[in-house]
Amino acid sequence: MNKLQVLADYFIKYPFVRYAFIVGLLIALCASLLGVTLVLKRFSFIGDGLSHVAFGAMAVAAITGLTNRMAIILPVTMLAAVLLLRTGQNTKIKGDAAIAMISVGALAIGYMLMNLFPSSSNISGDVCSTLFGSVSILTLKSSDVALCVVMAIIVLLTFLLFYHKIFAVTFDESFAQATGIRANTYNLLIAVITAMIIVLAMNLVGSLLISALIIFPALSAMRLFRSFRSVIICSAVISVICAASGIILSILFSTPVGATIVAADMAAFFLFSLIARCKGTHA
């Protein structure tokens, strides 16, 4: 009871707690929707790769001292997303190798730049918060929240409008192309939205933990549900519930926000796996 009161106090007293909550839930929702497609297309690692690219871009943005860091991070990450999805088709370096290459490369260069041109005295603190998103979600300004809401609306609308096409392109690209759906355009769209979500999610869980937001809800939903629509809906619900409980728990027990959300997602995954095993037929 006591804890609940503390929580209620936080919500009433501090606007940043409310901001963190809104942003957290929106990001979790968007990530889980796209996660289903990415997992099914065997692009689970793309989130990881792109988040490292975003880390590198953030380092560059930090040393150039730009006030609007998004102006660098977003386009760079989108470009990387497009390049990565391109390589999936026909190049000399295969998809997974390309992702690994770009992601560690960006990580190394980002860390190097941060050390060469330190923007504050506490480099390891900066790096740590970028990688694990430890504090940034609780330092959001109302303009950040507005940006996040707008981007979330764009992602959700795109997803709703192109839901059937995204299904077709995910399930069977060659058939989709043959019936006149521009599969490459939709792949591009998926790549760009993925990049947007990753840049947004960096605030929430940090760049190392983003893949968890993308893959865990989708994998949990796939344990139990057997149609594309039910998997998508279930994944969205799991993700929002886990994000909410993660944020609340992190406030109550003063644990790192990102890590707590990911732990909640993992717990949900094990729960769903257990239920699936008990039901037997749905393995």
Q: Is residue 180 within the footprint of other proteins (CB under 8 A)? A: yes
Among 21, 55, 132, 162, binds other proteins (CB under 8 A): 162
Single out the segment in contact with other proteins by CB under 8 A; choices: 125-133, 141-149, 162-170, 203-211.
162-170
Taking CB under 8 A as the rule, which mask of x and - marks residues 109-148 in contact with other proteins?
A: ----------------------------------------
What's the chain look like in SS3? CHHHHHHHHHHHHCHHHHHHHHHHHHHHHHHHHHHHHHHHCCCHHHHHHHHHHHHHHHHHHHHHCCCCCHHHHHHHHHHHHHHHHHHCCCCCCCHHHHHHHHHHHHHHHHHHHHHHCCCCCCHHHHHHHHHHCCCHHHHCCHHHHHHHHHHHHHHHHHHHHCHHHHHHHHHCHHHHHHCCCCHHHHHHHHHHHHHHHHHHHHHHHCCCCHHHHHHHHHHHHHHHCCCHHHHHHHHHHHHHHHHHHHHHHHHHCCCCHHHHHHHHHHHHHHHHHHHHHHHCCCC
- Within residues 28-57, the interface with other proteins by CB under 8 A covers 40-42
Single out the segment in contact with other proteins by CB under 8 A; choices: 116-124, 173-181, 238-246, 262-270.
173-181
Among 5, 160, 253, 278, binds other proteins (CB under 8 A): 160
CA 113 – CA 76 distance, rounded (Å): 16
How many residues in the shown chain lie near other proteins by CB under 8 A? 29
Q: State which residue, 132 or 269, has the beta carbon closest to other proteins.
A: 269
Q: State which residue, 116 or 160, has the beta carbon closest to other proteins.
A: 160
Q: How many CB atoms lie within 10 A of CB 27?
A: 28
Q: Is residue 155 within the footprint of other proteins (CB under 8 A)? A: no
Inter-CA distances, 144 with 59, 69, 114, 149, 232, Å: 19, 12, 23, 9, 27
Q: Is residue 6 within the footprint of other proteins (CB under 8 A)? A: no
Among 3, 164, 277, 279, binds other proteins (CB under 8 A): 164
Q: Is residue 283 within the footprint of other proteins (CB under 8 A)? A: no
Q: Is residue 228 within the footprint of other proteins (CB under 8 A)? A: yes
Among 64, 175, 185, 277, binds other proteins (CB under 8 A): 175
Among 28, 231, 263, 268, binds other proteins (CB under 8 A): 231
Among 108, 153, 161, 271, binds other proteins (CB under 8 A): 161
Q: Is residue 280 within the footprint of other proteins (CB under 8 A)? A: no
Q: State which residue, 11 or 163, has the beta carbon closest to other proteins.
A: 163
Cβ pair 231, 222 in contact under 8 A = yes
Q: What is the largest CA-CA distance in the chain?
A: 61
Q: Is residue 168 within the footprint of other proteins (CB under 8 A)? A: yes
Among 70, 165, 189, 252, binds other proteins (CB under 8 A): 165
Among 17, 176, 204, 263, binds other proteins (CB under 8 A): 176
The residue whose two tokens read 């990530």 is: 31
For other proteins, the binding residues (CB under 8 A) are: 40-42, 160-165, 167-168, 170-172, 174-181, 222, 225-229, 231
